[in-house]
Amino acid sequence: MKKHVGLLPAAGLALRMRPFRYPKELLPMHFRQSGDFIQPKLLIEYSLEAFSVAGIQDVYIVVPDWKPEIMRYLEGGDQFDHHIAYLYNNKALGLADALLTAYSWLKDTVTFFAMPDTMFSPVNAFQLLVDKMKIKSADLVLGVFPTDEANHFAPVEFDEDDKVLQIWEKPPVPLYNNAWGIAVWENNFWDYFQSKGNGLSSGVSITEVFNDAAKDGLRVYCVFFSDGWYKDVGRINQIILPK
């Protein structure tokens, strides 16, 4: 059985949050009582919680040298019941490049991917993606959520069998009111991703790689969470939580 690991890329410049310069991954989103103290729940903890629900202990976080606060806060992950390791990427060349940092470490695993500046429901979404991967013998499974802001995300076209047909990156006029937000993939996709690596231009999103994989014959499926939601808190005007 292949090892299951979590992957969180936190190596961006957070330009959408300017003039705010604090690491967005460490934004306090809720406060909860912990004994005699009030303890904040930071944004990155929501992805860690989703990993925990899926039974994942080992988590890799891609970080640059301008975000040491992430390592200082999370440390080795013991306080979150995780084993956290950090992968260095200081290039800020886009999401695809950041994720490729993990190839040598995770290429033989089942990799669970989320963005550390997002929140989503249901919290057990990853388990449903893994179930779909087993049923379909898929190389890559996307978690797709309804949204009224598909032009800010990447809407997905899929057929009645949940096979992914096409994905668009921030289309001006979306054809579908949904967006992929999380993903699970195996070594076949990792190897495909690596083979595309040298040809990726600066700033390329992982969406383009997902779309190419579906077009090139990899087994790419999705799970649509019709009653779920997905929230990107990486924009300064999107910090209000969903009702």
Give the per-residue pLDDT at 242.
45
For residues 168-192, average pLDDT: 97
Q: Which fold has domain 4-14+39-231?
A: Spore Coat Polysaccharide Biosynthesis Protein SpsA; Chain A (3.90.550)
The answer to whether the CB of 232 falls within 8 A of the CB of 118 is yes
Q: Could you state, in order of their start, the residue ranges of all structural domains in the chain?
A: 4-14+39-231
Give the per-residue pLDDT at 243.
41
**Residue 176 to residue 185: CA distance in whole angstroms:** 24
pLDDT in tens, 36-61: 888 888 999 999 999 999 999 999 99
Give the per-residue pLDDT at 82.
97
Q: Where are the beta strands (DSSP E) in the chain?
A: 4-9, 28-34, 37-42, 58-63, 83-88, 110-113, 118-121, 140-146, 156-158, 164-167, 178-185, 220-224, 229-232
Between the alpha carbon of residue 146 and those of residues 16, 122, 220, 234, the distances in Å are 22, 12, 19, 18
Q: Where are the beta strands (DSSP E) in 108-163?
A: 110-113, 118-121, 140-146, 156-158
Q: What is the pTM of this model?
A: 0.92
